[in-house]
A and B are shown apart, each in its own frame.
Chain A
Amino acid sequence: MAVTQTVEKKKRAPFPVEFYRSAVGKKWVMAITGLGIIGFAIAHMIGNLKIFLPDVDGIPDIDLYGEALRELFVPIFPEYAVLWILRTGLILMFVLHVHAAYSLTIMNRRARTTDYEGPRSYIAANYASRTMRWSGTIFLFYLLFHLADFTLGIQPAAPETWEYGEVFANFQATFDRWPVTVLYVTAAILLGIHLYHGVWSMFQSLGINNPRFNTWRRYLAGGLSVILTLGFIAPPLAVAFGVIT
């Protein structure tokens, strides 16, 4: 089939739809939503580290933190309101991020249907960049488990003793089961790998590129991956090895 047909002009859809239709637009959306999710992940990681803080009047610090999240801006907004606004935003970001990734993957499969048979060796692409689809998908399944475990308390993901609002106790109960600890540690490493390419790639997709700071994008991606991975691994391991009781 020769590529000679002329290109028909598509009908104009509403602006955001029109923008999202294009692959460059989808990548832009992936970068922005990725940035939002990273922001959440950083806040989440810092919140988790409260597990290491001493009790306040006999109540674990992290339980108070959970309480505070539910009561964000409380006299102005009703309880849970702000939390749910944030959650909705987060869910929306995940949906967009995954949908864009999914449709771009389909587009790319179509664009290259025959593989090379020569001893193809990648020169620039690294392990992280080539496994984005895998690390992302596996992480998504892990997220479902994680929500069932901590947020919703659905067994067998959650421990039998799970109780709403008892963050510290739930935390301990869940990581007393070593396969769960292994799962969480693996997921944190996957997240790190995903971000190693994602953070660097984000600048490229947004078109933020300046020769003066381009090398720093690599360092930033590496640094952020390591910090987030370690930050998320520390609390489960601390429970598993009995550092906190």
Chain B
Amino acid sequence: MNIVLQVWRQDSPESRGGFKTYQVKDISEEMSFLEMLDILNERLINQGEEPIAFDHDCREGICGTCGVMINGQAHGPQQGTATCQLHMRKFQDGETVVVEPWRATGFPLIRDLVVDRSAFDRIVEGGGYISVDTGSAPDANLIPIPKLVADTAFDAAACIGCGACVAACPNGAANLFTAAKISHLNLLPQGQSERWSRTENMVEIMEEFFGSCTNHGECEKACPKQISIDFIALMNADYVKAKFKNRRLVSQNG
């Protein structure tokens, strides 16, 4: 099949970028979107042109590095799928496909389709951990956790940190990501000791980089792991509680 690609090209964060159009001929429908970009890049290199910079790593939908905006949809037209798992058969022969980087102030552009998502790391550093005793490993299944709770926590833990939620959000908000990272620990017994400091910290660090949620629900539809905005409600509830509880702790310290 043949497609026409309009790709955002930008040499550096400071330089002015723009769209370039490429005719990508003779590609297989079985290729993934990234494989199609590989082919295009090989051809560009052979012609002595700069290849298109794009992020990727695992190519099996688990690392979260590969996201780009494809025809105005984060990770492309197929829901619940990361860009690396998207296949060319989802496109029409001869179709024009617009490829852009994530656009958000919290994700500054590095080059072409690559953005700096380290703001997510800052959020996780704020509380995305639990304290465990070192020493011999505890017995498995020592802490009883209801199946439903474990499943829900696991749904949240499925977040791969790709940033599609921010990219798709008209407000550039990272509430779905942060809610997922907070919830998968807050729901489990192991996450309780830091629950309130975690929630307050992570939310407030998030707000230094990203916009605020207006409950459109676009993130949920863009998320390759289909994480539910119900987790955002959970985070909101915990944030308010955290504010009260942490205040009481502060007053105890005099």
Contacts and interface: CB of A to CB of B under 8 A. Distances in A.
Interface in B93-132: 98-100, 103-106, 108, 116, 118-119, 122, 126
Contact of A1 (B13, B235, B239): B13
Interface stretch (A51-59, A64-72, A124-132, A146-154): A124-132
Contacts of A25: 239-240, 243
A122 interface: yes
Interface stretch (B31-39, B42-50, B53-61, B166-174): B166-174
A7 B104 contact: no
Interface in A1-53: 1-4, 7, 12, 15, 18-19, 22-28
Contacts of A12: 250
A145 B98 CA distance: 47
B207 A22 contact: yes
Interface stretch (B21-29, B66-74, B81-89, B135-143): B66-74
Interface stretch (A169-177, A200-208, A229-237): A200-208
A12 B108 CA distance: 30
Contacts of B208: 7
Contacts of A123: 73, 218, 221-222
Contacts of A226: none
A130 B217 CA distance: 11
A3 B106 contact: yes
A161 interface: no
Interface string B182-209: 0000000000000000000001110111
Interface string A82-113: 00000000000000000000001001101111
B72 A111 contact: no
Contacts of A7: 122, 126, 205, 208
B92 interface: no
A126 to B, nearest CB: 8
Contacts of B119: 3
B212 A112 contact: no
B239 A124 contact: no
Contacts of A206: 236-237, 240
Given A111-B105, A124-B220, A124-B221, A129 B214 contact: yes
B213 interface: yes
A209 B232 CA distance: 9
A18 B106 CA distance: 23
Nearest to A200: B215
Interface string B231-254: 011111111100100010010000
A119 interface: yes
A112 B239 CA distance: 24
A204 B98 contact: no
A194 interface: no
A115 B103 contact: yes
A114 B216 contact: no
A119 B173 contact: no
Contact of A3 (B108, B215, B230): B108
B210 interface: yes
B97 to A, nearest CB: 8
A132 B247 CA distance: 33
B240 A207 contact: yes
Contact of B211 (A3, A26, A108, A116): A108
A112 B171 contact: yes
Contacts of A204: 215, 229, 232-233, 236
B237 A207 contact: yes
B108 A112 contact: no
A200 B51 CA distance: 46
A203 B207 CA distance: 21
Given A2-B108, A2-B118, A15-B247, A26 B212 contact: yes
B72 A118 contact: yes
Given A15-B247, A22-B239, A110 B105 contact: yes
Contacts of A112: 103-105, 169-172, 211
Nearest to A114: B103
Contacts of B108: 1-3
B212 A23 contact: yes
A27 B172 contact: no
A209 B71 contact: no
7 contacts: A3-B209, A7-B208, A107-B207, A119-B71, A119-B72, A123-B222, A129-B216
Interface of B: 13, 19, 69-73, 98-100, 103-106, 108, 116, 118-119, 122, 126, 169-173, 203-205, 207-218, 220-222, 229-230, 232-240, 243, 247, 250
Sort A-B residue pairs by CB-CB distance and give the 4 closest, nearest first.
A207-B237, A111-B211, A209-B233, A111-B172
